[in-house]
Structures are given as C-alpha cells and as structure tokens.
Amino acid sequence: MVNGSQYADVIIDISIEKLDRPFTYRIPERLSGIICVGSRVRIPFGGGNTEKKGYVTAIKDHADYDDDKIKDILGLVDGSISAEERSFEIAAYIKDTYGGTLSQALKAVIPVKSKVKPVEHKTLVRKMSVEELRSLADEAFRQKKTAKERLLRALAEDDRIPVSFVTRQLNVSGSTVNSIIKSGAAALESDTEYRKPTVSEIKNSKNLNLNAEQQIIVDTISSDMDEQKCGKYLIHGVTGSGKTEVYLRLAEKTVLLGKQVIFLIPEIALTYQTLARFYSKFGDRVSVLNSSMSNGEKFDQCERAKAGDIDIIIGPRSALFTPFNDIGLIILDEEHELSYKSENTPKYHAREVAARICELSGAALVLGSATPSLESYSEAEKGGIRLFELKERATGASLPKTEIIDLRAELASGNRSMFSRRLKSLMDEAVASGDQIMLFLNRRGFSGQLSCRECGKVVKCPHCDVPMSVHTGNKLICHYCGETAPKPSLCPACGSKYLAAIKAGTEAVEERINKMYPGVKTLRMDKDTTSAKGSYDKILSSFAEGEAQILIGTQMIVKGHDFPNVTLVGILAADLSLGVPDYRASERTFQLLTQACGRAGRGEKPGYSIIQTYQPDHYAILTSSEQDYKKFYDEEMAYRETAGYPPAVHMLAVQFFGTDEKKTSNLALELGDVIKSNGTNRILGPAPANIGKVMDYYRFVIYIKNADASKLAEIRNVCEEFLTNKNMNQMYVQFDLDPLNLI
C-alpha cells in the first residue's frame, strides 16, 4: 500500500451479471477530493485496458489487493452528477427485492447521468388586454379557427405560456402561433434556462374550506408530521371527492416544515388543471418531470432539487428518485395504476420503493385512489396503512346512475346491434339535447381479425403468436410488433377466397355511430389514432372543447381530463377485460368500469352509465355498477386467498425469452429443476407464455409462490447465479415479483 493513496470501489456500467461486483481502482492525486461515492468514472478494464464507465460505490484508504495490480481511475465521466447516498441504499434495496444487477438498479435510481446542453425555451407572453383577447377569440370562433381560438383563450387566462405547452398540449401549430405574434396579441420570449410554466390566476385558486372528512385527513397526517411519527396513509375516495385538495394541504404543511414533497401521478393523468393548482399555490417552488422532457431538462430539475431551489416535484414513477435532501412527503395519486411498475429490469414497484424511501427519510407516504389496489387495501385492513374514506364528490355533484344491460336478453329479443335498446334511447336523448357521450370499448383480444370461413384459421403475425388486425387501406397490422402486411385476398393456410374480417373494435363502433347519427361529430381514441406524438392530448382537448359530441375509445378515454358536459357513458362490452387469462382480470375490470362510469355527470347535469355485458351476475360488474369497492374487495380477496395469488401470497414470475424455441424451453426446464431442488415453494410451469411468441422471441414462464417474499428472493439469487454460468446466446431471463401482467 502506497502511503496516502485512496481507492475506490467501482461497479462497471454494463449489465452482465459477471461484472456485478465492484472492482478496486486507485484515485489519482489530481482527482482526490473530487471523486466521491456516486461519481461516474472512466476506468481501464480487462487485459486490453478498454475504457469503460462505472459508478463509485465506496471510497477507502486501503486496498485488499497488491498495489501494483491496481489501476488508476482515468477521470470523471463528463458532467457527471454524484448521487446521494440514499440512492445507493435504494438501489441496493431494489436489487435485493426485484433482482437484476446493481448497475441496472443504479441506472433506475440515478435520474440523469450526463449533463446535456440546456435546451432553449420559448415563452409566449401576453401583449393585449384580456378583453381584446376575448373578442379576438370570439372572432376566431366565428371563423371556425378552433386552434387560434384555443390559444387566444389560453392567453386570456395566463399571461405567460411556454411554447412547448402551446404546441404539445394545446396542439396549436407553429404557423398559428406566428400569426398570433404578428397580430400583436402576444410576443415570444427566449430563455435558455429552464422555466416552469407560469400560471397567473386560476379559477379555483381561492382557498376552499375543507369539508369535515378532508379536514380529518389533513389534521391527522399533519399532527403525525409534527410528532415525527409518519407512516403510511391510504385515501380511498371517488374521483372528485377532493383528494387533490388534501394533497395540496399536506404539501403545504410539509413545505412549512422545511421539507420536500414528491408527488407521483401516472403519466397519462398529468393534466394542466392539476399542475395549475400546484403552481398557483407554490409558484416556482414546484417543478414537473415528464417523459417528453429532454435529458437536459431533467438534469436541470435534479440540480434544482439538490440545490434546494424547489420544494415539490410532480412527475411519473421516475420522479421518485429526485435527489431532495430532506423528503417529508411522498404522494402516489391513482396508486392502483399499472404504470407505477417498471417494465424493465429491475421491475420495481414505485409504491414499494416509495415506502422504503419514506422509511429512510422519516417521511409520510400518502396513497390515493378511487379503486385502491388489493395490495394497499389489504395492508390497510391489517393495520399497516391508515385508511381514510372520502365518500362523496366535494362539489356536491351526484354520482352517476348506473344500469347493467344483459346482452343475452337483447339477443333473445332479436337485437343484434352492438347497442342495447336502452343505450340507444339514452344516446338519442343526449344527442338531441346537445350533451356529450363517451362510448368505451376495451378492445384487447377483440380487434378486427381476418379469419377463413373454410379452414377456420386466423391470419397471424409472422413474428408474434397473435392475430393481425385489419385496418382501413386494406392493411394488416400486428399490435405487438408493428408488422404491417397487405391484406391477402386468399387464405394463407388453405387458399380459400372466403376470408372475412371480423369487424369489431372502435373503428366499427365509429362507423356505426356515423350511420346512426349523420352530422353528429365523433372522435375516436385508441392505439391507432394516438400513435403520433401529442395526438392523445389533442383528441381529449378537442372533445373537452366540444368539437365533437361523441368520443369513442379504448381504456385510454377513462383517464385524465374532466368533461363536465358528458351525461352518458356507454360501456359496450364489459366482459372483454374479464376474459383475459390473468388473475388480475376481475380487478382490472372493476377499476376500468368504476372509472368509466365515474366519467358521467361531472358537471351540473346528472349522469347515466350503461354497462352492457353477457355476465350481468359477475361480481366485478355488479360491484362496479354499485360503486361498492368494499364488496368487490371482499370477493376478490377471498378468491386470491383460495387460489393463492398476490397479495395473499407473493409470486415470482421467471420469464424466458429466446429465438430458438427448443433451447429456450430447455433452459426453462433446467432452471425449473434448479428451483425445485431449492426449497418448498409452490411452482407452476415451465409453460409457454399466454402469448407464446413476440417479435420472433419464444416465451416461457415459471411461477413460484411463497408467503414470504424473502424466500423468493433467495431462489431468485440461486437462479441468477446459475444463469451466469450459462451460454445465453439469443436468450434472456427476467424476474418479475408480484407481476401486474402475466405475459
């Protein structure tokens, strides 16, 4: 050991399990004091001394090896930011809980690793009086220039609007922006520094008086904060019951205590209304992360958080890792949402990781949902989470009336249409009185397939084990890999010419509606109409502005925006999501139906929801029509307990992917044997996945169940160890603890 030398443990930044241990490097004199735990460094690696990147996991003043064998760190990766120690503890927790390598966990946890040039930001600044803008907007309305009108009205409300918001969320084209600048209504202001959208005055920024239920929640959690005995809380409240108002008060309390707040929302629910409420309360102390931001923008947010320039961050799953110094509160709104779980290894769940971060920081964890996950609700029943209920809409609006329509009876009485007579007559009424309608079709597994009437085969994607869907323009599209092909005129299997497209799905509904109500404007929202960037917001905002009377869509339409003019929601085939081979099918169905029904009657007029189904007696359908969460929960939990599914037990999915079917299945068999020889778990499989092939990769799964998650972690470690010694050519294995989707 050379006197005074310092050494660093470095994890090499490549995800091969064999490298998943730290290597020791010497810190050269010129870098001493600069390199710290969390630094991202360049190092020479292997016999050829190839330059690689790595993370410093520890600094020490001695090395356990022969000093001449230890190489020097070459330097810092440009613009690297060093992560907090907390990030490492969290990364270690993620690796231990969900598997994968420490590098992979670190990548998930350290928000942005490289500094990117700041992006130039432009802001549109109001240059006319509100009255002038309003009269210009009225004129644009008369000329049917809807985009122009939208922008003018927005300017009338806010004196500064970021151009990115104008083009993305308001969906106003550059030429319209230019014409508005030319007219003198607004001017462009450039700024290279990050700027949050400013919102001057918003309608409900006045301080509301909390109702009694809201007040109890705020008081209880606040006093826990004062006494530094924060725990976990679940707010079960229907949409519109005032949860966001409670979050705002709790955030305010946290900031008063000098601590910071992380507010997680599913990306899709990131609405301007919610942001505006936070901005109006906290001004530029709040900031937003979202997936359309550049790395530079995200980096800026992290820097601001570390520097103490902001108190509140709002964002999706990854905002959890904002490097605040003193986190006091983490909120997960819509905590049941699937998007809180990472789809990539490590497949961590934001709720569980948030709980861990809160433990480490002494922070409060607040979960909110109209349809809580079984995980959270059962923990509340056991006393691990404190439960609060908000039973009514805060504005006093009533919940919609819901009716179940038995499609079997419709059929028996000779109605073969996709609309029951009851739904049809309510649609007639709504159309006549100028109200808006939402029609909801869960299209999964129900797309327009091409099937042969001679041999009965459906035309499948050559790369995936799924039928392709027929689209306008005589095209076939695979929804799993995007493969397109011309629609064949003869059956590829038997050569018959009797190929028929089973028309269903949103496209067919729209066609039908257009025939039934000629002249009534419709909008359609599904995977096909929202593939272009910004199209999702465009459809929703044009529906919100009344540019169409009927919105037809898949589950996408049940989230996000508020539509006060919607008085009727029609769920055309509630059974579709029940038929999915997944133990969470009933839960998903209950959530979707409850959310969809809740879309009606948000405004002054009362709402109606119609659920059409072939299984009117199914508990998920009955309980959602009654908006009775507890009843659903009891039935569903009993099922999970009997059948042995999460949250009654823990379940680890071991997923195998490979281009060679035989080799992949052999690997699954081999690993299955390893698992069987290691403990007393309940094992299912190996078996082909529900969808046996995607993008030319064959898929197999093994499920392991155990009441004790740490037993599953042990088994997973054994598996990972076993796999490091395997030739994994064109194959890979993933682990998913308590999977939300069975592949």
Write out the residues near ligand ADP by the rule CB under 6 A.
204, 208-211, 214, 237, 239-245, 394-395
483 touches, from ligand ADP, Zn ion, none (C-beta below 5 to 8 Å by class): Zn ion
Peptide bond into 346 cis (omega under 30): yes
285 touches, from ligand ADP, Zn ion, none (C-beta below 5 to 8 Å by class): none
Among 180, 355, 461, 551, binds Zn ion (CB under 5 A): 461
Q: How far is the CB of 602 from ligand ADP (least distance, A)?
A: 9
The answer to whether residue 493 forms part of the interface with Zn ion (CB under 5 A) is yes
Phi and psi at 695, nearest 5°, equal 50, 45
Q: How far is the CB of 214 from ligand ADP (least distance, A)?
A: 6
Q: How far is the CB of 32 from Zn ion (least distance, A)?
A: 54
In the chain, the largest separation of any two C-alpha atoms, in whole Å, equals 93
Q: How far is the CB of 169 from ligand ADP (least distance, A)?
A: 19
CA distances from 228 to 253, 254, 324, 360 (A): 13, 12, 18, 13
Is 187 or 208 the residue whose CB approaches ligand ADP more closely? Answer: 208
Name the one residue in this structure whose structure tokens are 């042990």: 714
Give the CB-side neighbour count of residue 512, counting CA atoms within 13 A: 16
The answer to whether residue 691 forms part of the interface with Zn ion (CB under 5 A) is no
Q: How far is the CB of 330 from ligand ADP (least distance, A)?
A: 17
Distance of CA 388 to the CA centre of its chain: 24
Site string for Zn ion, 75-94 (x = CB under 5 A): --------------------
Q: How far is the CB of 397 from ligand ADP (least distance, A)?
A: 8
Q: Taking Cα atoms as reference points, which of 313, 301, 323 lies closest to residue 116?
A: 301
Q: How far is the CB of 392 from ligand ADP (least distance, A)?
A: 10
CA distances from 719 to 290, 357, 376, 428 (A): 35, 28, 29, 60
Name the one residue in this structure whose structure tokens are 């309305």: 141
Under DSSP, is residue 29 helix (H, G, I), strand (E, B) or coil?
Answer: helix
Handedness of CA 538, 540, 544, 547 (dihedral sign): positive
Under DSSP, is residue 694 helix (H, G, I), strand (E, B) or coil?
Answer: strand
Among 483, 511, 670, 714, binds Zn ion (CB under 5 A): 483
244 touches, from Zn ion, ligand ADP, none (C-beta below 5 to 8 Å by class): ligand ADP
496 touches, from ligand ADP, Zn ion, none (C-beta below 5 to 8 Å by class): Zn ion
Under DSSP, is residue 673 helix (H, G, I), strand (E, B) or coil?
Answer: helix
Q: How far is the CB of 696 from Zn ion (least distance, A)?
A: 9
Name the one residue in this structure whose structure tokens are 């690696």: 45
491 touches, from Zn ion, ligand ADP, none (C-beta below 5 to 8 Å by class): Zn ion
Handedness of CA 632, 638, 642, 646 (dihedral sign): positive
Q: How far is the CB of 385 from ligand ADP (least distance, A)?
A: 18
Q: How far is the CB of 132 from ligand ADP (least distance, A)?
A: 29
Is 8 or 491 the residue whose CB approaches Zn ion more closely? Answer: 491
Tokens of residue 395, six digits: 């504005």
The answer to whether residue 455 forms part of the interface with Zn ion (CB under 5 A) is yes
Instruction: Return the C-alpha torsion angle 285, 288, 294, 299, nearest 10.
Output: 50
242 touches, from Zn ion, ligand ADP, none (C-beta below 5 to 8 Å by class): ligand ADP
Cβ–Cβ under 8 Å, residues 372 and 594: no
The answer to whether residue 481 forms part of the interface with Zn ion (CB under 5 A) is yes
The answer to whether residue 496 forms part of the interface with Zn ion (CB under 5 A) is yes
Tokens of residue 243, six digits: 């949860």
394 touches, from Zn ion, ligand ADP, none (C-beta below 5 to 8 Å by class): ligand ADP
463 touches, from Zn ion, ligand ADP, none (C-beta below 5 to 8 Å by class): Zn ion
Among 464, 552, 580, 593, binds Zn ion (CB under 5 A): 464
Only one of the segments 257-265, 462-470, 552-560, 735-743 lies at the binding site for Zn ion (rule: CB under 5 A); that segment is: 462-470
Tokens of residue 279, six digits: 């901005």
204 touches, from Zn ion, ligand ADP, none (C-beta below 5 to 8 Å by class): ligand ADP
Q: How far is the CB of 240 from ligand ADP (least distance, A)?
A: 4
Q: Beta partners for 527?
A: none
454 touches, from ligand ADP, Zn ion, none (C-beta below 5 to 8 Å by class): Zn ion
Under DSSP, is residue 68 helix (H, G, I), strand (E, B) or coil?
Answer: helix
Say which residues have a Cβ less than 8 Å from residue 725's Cβ, sequence separation at least 6: none
Only one of the segments 88-96, 369-377, 487-495, 641-649 lies at the binding site for Zn ion (rule: CB under 5 A); that segment is: 487-495
Tokens of residue 514, six digits: 């257009």
Name the one residue in this structure whose structure tokens are 């205590």: 257
The answer to whether residue 177 forms part of the interface with Zn ion (CB under 5 A) is no
CA distances from 207 to 97, 204, 210 (A): 43, 8, 9
Among 172, 312, 405, 491, binds Zn ion (CB under 5 A): 491
The answer to whether residue 714 forms part of the interface with Zn ion (CB under 5 A) is no
Instruction: Give the separation between CA 401 and CA 568, rounded to whole angstroms.
Output: 10
Q: How far is the CB of 631 from ligand ADP (least distance, A)?
A: 21
Length, in residues, of the chain: 743
Instruction: Give the separation between CA 571 and CA 434, rounded to whole angstroms.
Output: 20
478 touches, from ligand ADP, Zn ion, none (C-beta below 5 to 8 Å by class): Zn ion
Instruction: Give the separation between CA 428 and CA 443, rounded to whole angstroms.
Output: 24
Is 455 or 638 the residue whose CB approaches Zn ion more closely? Answer: 455
Q: How far is the CB of 726 from Zn ion (least distance, A)?
A: 28
H helical segments located in 527-681: 535-544, 585-597, 619-625, 629-643, 661-676
Q: Taking Cα atoms as reference points, which of 247, 228, 234 lies closest to residue 382?
A: 234
Q: Taking Cα atoms as reference points, which of 512, 586, 515 lies closest to residue 552?
A: 512
Q: How far is the CB of 443 from Zn ion (least distance, A)?
A: 17
464 touches, from Zn ion, ligand ADP, none (C-beta below 5 to 8 Å by class): Zn ion
Is 202 or 695 the residue whose CB approaches ligand ADP more closely? Answer: 202
Instruction: Give the separation between CA 454 and CA 631, rounded to whole angstroms.
Output: 47
Only one of the segments 287-295, 355-363, 460-468, 732-740 lies at the binding site for Zn ion (rule: CB under 5 A); that segment is: 460-468
239 touches, from ligand ADP, Zn ion, none (C-beta below 5 to 8 Å by class): ligand ADP
Q: How far is the CB of 332 from ligand ADP (least distance, A)?
A: 13
Q: How far is the CB of 335 from Zn ion (least distance, A)?
A: 33
Name the one residue in this structure whose structure tokens are 């949409």: 239
Q: How far is the CB of 235 from ligand ADP (least distance, A)?
A: 8
Only one of the segments 194-202, 463-471, 620-628, 648-656 lies at the binding site for Zn ion (rule: CB under 5 A); that segment is: 463-471
Size of the site for Zn ion (CB under 5 A): 14
Among 141, 165, 480, 536, binds Zn ion (CB under 5 A): 480
The two counts, helices (H) then strands (E), for the chain are 21, 30
Q: Angle 102-109/85-98 helices, nearest 10 degrees?
A: 130
Is 26 or 277 the residue whose CB approaches ligand ADP more closely? Answer: 277
237 touches, from ligand ADP, Zn ion, none (C-beta below 5 to 8 Å by class): ligand ADP
The answer to whether residue 463 forms part of the interface with Zn ion (CB under 5 A) is yes
Tokens of residue 598, six digits: 């809740």
The answer to whether residue 454 forms part of the interface with Zn ion (CB under 5 A) is yes
Instruction: Give the separation between CA 648 and CA 638, rounded to whole angstroms.
Output: 9
The answer to whether residue 452 forms part of the interface with Zn ion (CB under 5 A) is yes
The answer to whether residue 504 forms part of the interface with Zn ion (CB under 5 A) is no
Distance of CA 42 to the CA centre of its chain: 34
The kind and range of the H/E element at 714 are helix 709-724
452 touches, from ligand ADP, Zn ion, none (C-beta below 5 to 8 Å by class): Zn ion
Question: Where on the chain is the footprint of Zn ion (CB under 5 A)?
Answer: 452, 454-455, 461, 463-464, 478, 480-481, 483, 491, 493-494, 496
